[in-house]
Chain A
Amino acid sequence: MNKETKPIEAKNLTCSLGGCEILSGINFTVEKGKFYSIIGPNGSGKTTLLRTIAAAVKPESGELLIDNISVCGLKEKELARKLSYVSQNTNSDVDFNVLDYVLMGRYPYLGLLQREGENDLAYARRSMEITNTWYLREKKLDEISGGERQRVVAARALTQDTPIILLDEPISQLDIHHQVELMDTLDSMVEKHGITVVAVLHDLNMASQYSDFIILINKGKAVKCGSPDEVLSKDIILEVYDMEVQILKNPETDKPLIIPSKYRKRRL
């Protein structure tokens, strides 16, 4: 193998759901230890792309490689030790203990008859402290708020201890404090532990501030893949989102800051 192993590589990926083509001919490569955001309008195929990476959706044609191995060739538990996945729908009507739920993240490491040990509990505790959910450990899942649950689900993903973490709109239900807190947590996982994060985000500014690279999807095609500066330009946003925006520089990070113009103004 002469080239370096990439955590994720999509080659001409095409996916259909119910006879309808959702993704067509998507190509991209994800570098190790970087923060990637997938952005795009509603219904553009962001979630399907993420689910394809997580092997929850089978590609119709093309290939998806994790560490140079096709996802289809990986055993379920092998894949679960390589990547964890936080789905959009975190609703759960069962009343599991929060700690028991987070410990489910150790599933890929345990045999049929094995029980969770001290080591597994240490992983759970660490990720619950990172996500600031340790104080919830004795609560039931259906007793905590939507935002708390989103953090608990993130803690479960961290407990899985994988080099790649996929998240589908992980901050959609969080207030601004917890949004930044979770994004900071992910950011520090990337920086300190060399973890690769791929997150579907709706908030362009969050994507801009935290991402090393942004993948912009529109109508099932990868429109652009690059640094926030390259992807978040006035023209591209107008074309993809049909929105007039102002782009400033964030004085703190030098990253682009997007301010939408009032829709009404544009029509006049």
Chain B
Amino acid sequence: MSYFQKKLKYNLLLLIAFGILVFIMLISCTIGIADIGIFNALKILVSKIPGIGLLIGGDSINSTYKMIVLDIRMPRIVLAAAIGAILAAVGGCFQGLFRNPMADPYVLGISNGAGLGAAIAIAFGMDSILWGAGMVPFLAFAGALTTTVVVYAIANVGGRLPSANLLLSGVAVGLFEYSLITILMILRRDKIEGIFMWLMGSVNAASWQQAAFLTPIAIIGVIAVCLFARDLNVISSNEETARSLGVKVETVKKLLLGVCSLLIAVCVSVSGIIGFVGLVVPHCARLITGSDHRVMLPFSAIGGAIFLVICDTLARSLMPPSELPVGAVTSLFGAPYFIYLLIKSKKKVRQ
């Protein structure tokens, strides 16, 4: 039966994509400013696999190299993959939910809320309290959640959340917060660079704690969103039809919005505002797999992970010794690829 063969083909493709992700993560470990060499880097990685590790005998390798690969590069790569997966899956979900191709994870103003929180933390020197990044992620998370609540309260009409209201209130609240960020930057000129770099988004301060915290969230979150893929299919085709088919449109919408907002709030508070992934990766996935969210969402998630790992690898190794913000790299390399896909699909229609 060709229908089931097609579904099988997509499952296989998904598996292959996952394999590619793992492969790229490993390759990325071997690339970097420190000249460790592919062979040594792989040796370090293999030595960590229980059982085989003893046979290799990784002791001969410089311990600084080990630290670079295992404690600096690896967590950063894992974190990038987790964030890429969340951003792309949420972007795909929002595009279906709002039936709007311009929707991205930040469309409800969550990013600017987090940005405002982070800007306040940096401007008032709270980034050195506690450890590492200090209060920045906490205030960013608080800002993101506050924004979400405010946007939903504004959009709410008698217990329902019409898409147009959500998008408009998201844009309005987001712009308001952005102007507050700008004013903060002017008032604390000495902190401009810090705030600006945070807003550009980066995973360069990644630690194993962060990676271990975000990876399970990404896996559970993406699976949770994918569980509603069929509902999302019906809703994205027509809300009225969805209701008549027995979809609890408002309940599904609120659930998905809640889950996605939380995911994005966590992401942004860890990495800042990494743009482009959540907007364009779902479109690329859609061009490859079609609109069926059951295929498109997992594809987006894996695609987002691959994309962000590649971009972050480029960001940290393109212009040594300085690093590019990953948010700049995503658009730099993603936009041409997306334009290529658009032109290719345009040709297909014309035929």
A residues within 8 Å of B by Cβ? 54-56, 75-81, 83-85, 87, 89-90, 92-97, 99-101, 104-105, 107-108, 110, 112-113, 115, 118, 121, 140-141, 156, 160
Contacts and interface: CB of A to CB of B under 8 A. Distances in A.
B306 to A, nearest CB: 24
Among A75, A92, A113, find the residue whose CB has the most chain B CB atoms closer than 10 A: A92
Contacts of B99: 93-94
A6 B7 CA distance: 42
A96 B237 contact: yes
Contact of A160 (B245, B290, B291): B245
Given A97-B290, A110-B230, A92 B238 contact: yes
A101 B238 CA distance: 11
Interface residues of B, number: 24
Nearest to B243: A56
Interface of B: 1, 3-4, 7, 99, 227, 230, 233-234, 236-238, 240-241, 243-248, 286, 290-292
A206 B240 CA distance: 26
Nearest to B233: A104
Given A95-B291, A96-B292, A121-B3, A76 B248 contact: yes
Contacts of A105: 245
Nearest to B251: A76
Nearest to B7: A115
A89 B244 contact: no
B236 A81 contact: no
A77 B246 contact: yes
Contact of A94 (B4, B7, B236, B247): B236
A80 B1 CA distance: 28
A96 B233 contact: yes
A62 B189 CA distance: 66
A92 B230 contact: no
Contact of B290 (A93, A96, A107, A110): A96
Contact of A108 (B3, B227, B245, B290): B245
Contacts of A77: 246
Contacts of A75: 246
Contact of A85 (B237, B244, B286): B244
A115 B233 CA distance: 14
Contacts of A118: 1
Nearest to B244: A85
Given A89-B240, A160-B245, A107 B230 contact: yes
Given A78-B246, A110-B230, 17 more contacts: A56-B240, A75-B246, A79-B246, A83-B244, A85-B244, A87-B244, A94-B291, A95-B291, A96-B233, A96-B290, A96-B291, A97-B290, A100-B292, A104-B233, A104-B241, A118-B1, A121-B1
Among B99, B230, B236, find the residue whose CB has the most chain A CB atoms closer than 10 A: B230
18 contacts: A55-B243, A56-B243, A77-B246, A80-B245, A83-B244, A87-B238, A87-B244, A89-B240, A90-B238, A94-B99, A100-B233, A104-B233, A104-B237, A104-B245, A113-B227, A115-B7, A121-B3, A160-B245
Shortest 3 CB-CB contacts between residues of A and residues of B: A80-B246, A85-B244, A77-B246
A265 B311 CA distance: 75
